[in-house]
Structure 1
Amino acid sequence: MPSVDGMTTAVVPSPAVATHRGIFRQLLTDSAYVIVGFPLAIAGFVASLVGLVLSAGLIVTGIGLPVMAGALLLARFFADLERLAIGPVLRVPRVRPQYRTAEPGAGLFRRVLAIIGDSQSWLDAVHALVKFVLSMFSFVVTVTWWAGAIGGLTYWTYDWAIPRSPDEVDLNTLLGLGSGTGPRLLLNTAIGVFFLLSLPIVVRGVALLQASFSKGMLTGVAEMRNQITTLEGQRRAAVSAEATALRKLERDIHDGPQQRLVRLAMDLGRAQQQFDSDPDAARRTIEEALTQTRETLDELRSLSRGIAPPILVDRGLPSALAALAGRGVIPIDLAVDPALGTAGGRLDPAVESAAYFVVAESLTNVAKHSRAEVCRIAVTREGKDLRVEISDDGEGGAHVSKGHGLAGLADRVHAAGGKLTVTSPPGGPTLIQATLPV
C-alpha cells in the first residue's frame, strides 16, 4: 500500500487485470481437471470393466453378486471423486445422490442386493466406462495445446540443440521462408502464439464437455429428486396455507359478521312485533339494526382485504400496500418500488398476492402483539426476486412455529417458491424478510 501525503491507499487492480487473472485461474483449474482426471479415468475404467466382467463370469458360482456389488462400489468411489472435481469447472455446488441402502440390521445378501438394485450405481459404472473415452480425448487435446504454446514460445531456447544434416530440407524452405535460424524461429513463435491465444478456449471447451457429461450422469437423478421434493414441499405448503386461511376466515366470520347477523335478525323480529304496540321503540330498534348492518359490512370488507382486495387487482401492489399502511394503528414508513405498479412492472398475480399477504399478516401481528411505536416496510425487486421486509421496534418474540400467526405466512411464502426469515429476539426489534421468485 503506497503512502500519499501521510495517507495509506490500497492498490485496486484494474478490471482488465482482474479479468486476465480470472481467465488464468480458470485455465489452470480446467487443465488440472483434465490432466489429473485422465489417470483417474483409466483406474475407474479398469476397475469397473474388470469387476463387471469378472462378476458376470462368476455369477453361476454364487460369488458373482458380491463381486458385482464391489465393482459398483468402486465405480461409486470414482464417481464421488468426479463430483468433487466438476464443481470448480462448472461453478456449481457438489450434489451427491441418495443411494439406496438396506434397512438397518440387514444381512450381507440384502446389502448386496441393495447396491445392485440402485439405479445410480449403474449410472456410475456406465460413467466410468464412457468417461475414459472422453477423458482420453480431452487429455490429448489439452496436452497438445499446452505443448504447442510452450514449445513454440520457447523455441529459441532449444533450436540450437536440434540436430540437422547439411542437406536437410526443413519446413521453412518448403514454405518459401528461406533457410536459417531466423525463419524457423519466426514460424515456431507464430505457432506458439496461436496455441497460447487459443489455449483458454480449447481447454475450457474440452473441460466443459467432460464435466457436463459427468454432471448429467452423476447428479441428474439427484437433482430431479430434489426438484420433486421441492415441488412436493411447495404443494404441501400450499395446502397447509389454504387450510390455515380457511380456518382463520371461518373463525373470523363466526366471531364477527355471523354474530352481528344473528343479532340483526333478532332486532328486526323485535321491531316487527313493536310496530303496533310501540312505534317509537320499533324505530329505535331499526336504527340499531342499521348500525349493525353498517358494522357488518365494514367487517366483511376488512375480511375480503385479506383474500383478494380489489385495489390490488386494479391498481397494483404499491397502491394496495399504501392502503394497508394508511389503516395502520401505528406510524408506518412505506417504501415500494413504484415500477411494480406500472403496466410493464406488474408481477404475476400469485406473487403480488403473496407479497400483499406477507405485509397484511405482518401488520396484523404488529398491531396485536408487538407493542411497537413505528413500523417500516420495504418492497424492492432484486434481479429475479421480489424482496419484502417488515421491521418494527416492538418487544420481539415472534416466530413461525405451528400454532402461531406467522406459521400460515411461512406456508404461503413457501408455496410460492419463496423463503421467509423471521428475526425477532426477545426485547426486539423484529425483522421479517420474504424473498419471492418473480
Structure 2
Amino acid sequence: MSTEILMTPETLRPPPATTALPAPRRRGFLRQVAIDTGYALASFPLAIVAFVVVVTGLSVGAGLLVIWVGVAVLALTLVAARGLATAERAWLPSVLRRELPRPAYRRAEGSPLRRLLTPLRDAQSWLDALHALIRFPFAILAFVVTVTFWSVALGGLTYGAWDWTLPDASTTPDNEDLLELLGQESTAGRRILFYALIGLAFALVLPFAVRGVAVLQAQLGRALLTSRAAAQEQIDRATQGRDAAVAAEAVALRRLERDIHDGPQQHLVRLGMDLARAQRQLDRDPAAARSTLGEAAGLAREALEELRALSRGIAPPVLADRGLAAALAALAARSPVPVELAVDLPAERLAPVTENTAYFVVSEALANVAKHSGAQLCRVGVSRDDGTLRVVVEDDGTGGAVAAPGHGLAGLTDRLRAADGALTVDSPRGGPTRLTAEVPLA
C-alpha cells in the first residue's frame, strides 16, 4: 500500500535512476567461462611462485634474524608478496564481477632503517604473505578441476575425429578401452557415441565446476587482500559522516542564532520597550498607553509567528504527528513558488532520521528556489527504491547552482552525508535545476 499526493493535475516526471555504488558487472556466459578458465590456469604458476618465494623468504629471514640480515630478507619477502598480491587483485573484479577496494599500504618514511622496517610494520603486507601460503592448495584444486573438465569435455566431443589413431584389440591384444573394461562390446561406433556422451556431460557441468573453483579461490583473495581496505573505507565513511554531522549542526545552530537575533529577538526587545512606555503612560495618558499596548500586542503576535516558523524549520509537529507526506504537503503549501508534489511512500512510517533528513532537504531546497532561482514552478518527488529514499527537487529557474564549500548547498551535502546519503546537483546555466538526494532506509 502506498500514499500518493499530487498538488497539481500534472504528473511529476520520473527522476533518473542513480546509484551510489557501482553495479555488478554483466557479461556473456561464454565470456565468463573464459575468464574463470584463464584465472584458474594463470593463477596456478603464480601461486607456485608466491608459495616458494614466501616460504623461502620467511624461513631464511627468520633464521638470519640473529645477525640482523634476516630483517632485510623478511622485508624483501613482504615486498615480493605485495607484488604477487597486486597481480592477484587485478583478476578479482573480473572473476567476482564487482569492484573491490584497493588497500593503502604504509608509506616508507623517516631514516633508512625505519624505511627498511616499513613492510614489517604494515599489516596488509603480512596478509599478502599469508595469502600466498593459504592460496596454494586452492590454486591446485582450481587448476586440476579446470584442466580435467576441459580435457574430458574436448576429448569426448572430438573423439570421433581421432579414434582411428588409437590401437585396437586386433593389433594390440592387451589393449582395452573403457567399454571393454566395463564388460561391453567395443566397436568404433559404440566408442564414439560413448565417449561423446561423456564429453557432453562434462561440457554441461564444466561452466559450473570451473566457476565454483574460481570463485572459491577469488573469495579467499577478497577476504585476505581487500577486506581490510573495505573495513577502512567503512571507517572513513563513518568518520566523514560524523564530521559532516558536526559541521551541519554547527551551521544550523549559527543560522538559528542569526534568525532569532534578526527576528524574534528584535521584536521582543521592542515589545519590552513598548510595555515599559505603556506603564509610564498609564497614569498621565491612558489613551496613549492603550495605543502603545496595541502595538505591543502586534509585536507579540509577529514574534510568535516567527518562532513558530523557526520551529517548523527545525522539527515541525506535523512531521512527528502525521509523517513525511503530510509534512511535505504543508511545506509545499507555504512555498511562495508553486510546487507540484508527488509522494509515493508505503503506509508504514519511515525511521525518524530518514524523515527528518528528507524534510530538511526539501525545506532547504524550496527556500533556495524561492530566494535564488527565479523559478515559476517547482517539482518535488519522493519515492522509495531498493532500500533507498530518493528525493528529487526540480525547478525551471535560471540554474547555476553548485554543491561546493561556501555555497548554499554545502549544508545539504553535509546533512545527507551525516545520514550516509548523497546529493547530486544538475544545474546548467539557464536551468533547469535538479537536486537528487538519496538517503539509505534504516
After TM superposition, is the score higher than 0.5?
yes
Q: Give the whole-Å Cα distance in 2 for the aligned partners of 1:173 and 1:98.
A: 61
Q: Which amino acid aligns with 1:264?
A: L
- CA distance in 1 between partners of 2:320 and 2:160 (Å): 75
Matched, 1:102 2:105: no
Give the distance between the partners of 1:375 and 1:93, measured in 2 at CA: 37
Alpha-carbon separation, structure 2, partners of 1:424 and 1:183: 73
Instruction: Compute the displacement of 1:330 (Å).
Output: 1.9
Structure 1 counterpart of 2:291: 284
2-structure distance, mates of 1:188, 1:256: 91
**Structure 1 counterpart SS, 2:394:** strand
Match of 1:47 among 53, 72, 80: 53
Structure 2 equivalent of residue 148 of structure 1 = 152
Equivalent AA in structure 2 for residue 69 of structure 1:
A
Counterpart-to-counterpart distance in 1, 2:365 and 2:36 = 49
- Which amino acid counterpart does residue 164 of structure 1 have in structure 2? D
Is it true that 1:58 corresponds to 2:64 in the alignment? Answer: yes
Alignment deviations for residues 28-62 of structure 1 (CA, whole Å, 9 cap, x no partner) = 11111111111111111122222222222333333
Consecutive unaligned residues in structure 2, runs of 5 or more: 1-25
Query: How far 1:413 sits from its partner (Å)?
Result: 0.7
Would you say the 8 A contact 1:330–1:373 is kept in 2?
Answer: yes
The letter of the residue matching 1:24 is: L
Q: Report the residue type matching 1:384 in the other structure.
A: G
Q: Deviations over 1:346-385 (max 9, x none)?
A: 3222112111111111111222222333322222333222
Question: By how many angstroms is 1:403 displaced?
Answer: 4.0
Give identity over the alignment, percent: 54
8 Å CA contact 1:83, 1:95 repeated in 2:
no
The aligned residue for residue 4 of structure 1 is: none
Within 2, Cα distance between the matches of 1:347 and 1:127? 43
1:306-338 deviation digits (Å, cap 9, x = unpaired): 11112222332222222212111122222332x
Alignment pair present for 1:227 and 2:234: yes
Q: 2:140 aligns with which of 111, 136, 140?
A: 136
Q: Which residue of 2 aligns with 1:305?
A: 312
| 1:389 counterpart SS class | strand
Matched ranges for 1:22-421 at <5 A: 22-103=28-109, 106-166=110-170, 167-168=173-174, 170-337=177-344, 340=345, 342-344=346-348, 346-421=349-424
Looking at structure 2, the residues matched to 398 and 411 of structure 1 have their Cα atoms a distance apart, in angstroms, of 16
Partner letter of residue 150 of structure 1?
L
Instruction: Give the superposition deviation at 1:425.
Output: 4.5
Distance in 2, Cα, partners of 1:267 & 1:73? 80
Q: Secondary structure at the match of 2:34?
A: helix
Which secondary structure does the structure 2 equivalent of 1:325 belong to?
helix
Q: For residues 174-232 of structure 1, give each alpha carbon's deviation from its aligned partner in whole angstroms, at most 9, with x where no partner exists.
A: 54543323332332222112211111111111001100000111111111111101101
Letter in 1 for 2:215: L
Three-state SS of the structure 1 residue aligned to 2:75 is helix
Shift of 1:108: 2.8
Aligned length: 413
Aligned to 1:373, the other structure's residue is in SS state coil
CA contact (8 A) 1:400 1:410 kept: yes
In structure 1, the residue corresponding to 2:389 is in which secondary structure?
strand
* Contact preservation (8 Å) 1:84, 1:94: no
**Amino acid of the structure 1 residue aligned with 2:79:** L
Q: Distance in 1 between matches of 2:238 and 2:337?
A: 39
Shift of 1:170: 4.3
Q: Using the alignment, how far apart are the partners of 1:170 and 1:368 within structure 2?
A: 88
Q: 1:183 to 1:21 in 2, by over 3 A?
A: farther
Q: Distance in 2 between matches of 1:414 and 1:95?
A: 20
Per-residue deviation, residues 367-407 of structure 1 (Å, max 9, x unmatched): 22223333222223332222222233334443344444322
CA RMSD of aligned residues (A): 2.1
Question: Contact 1:177–1:183 (CA<8 Å) still a contact in 2?
Answer: no
Deviation string 1:132-157 (CA, Å, 9 cap, x unpaired) is 11101110011111111111211222
CA contact (8 A) 1:44 1:75 kept: yes
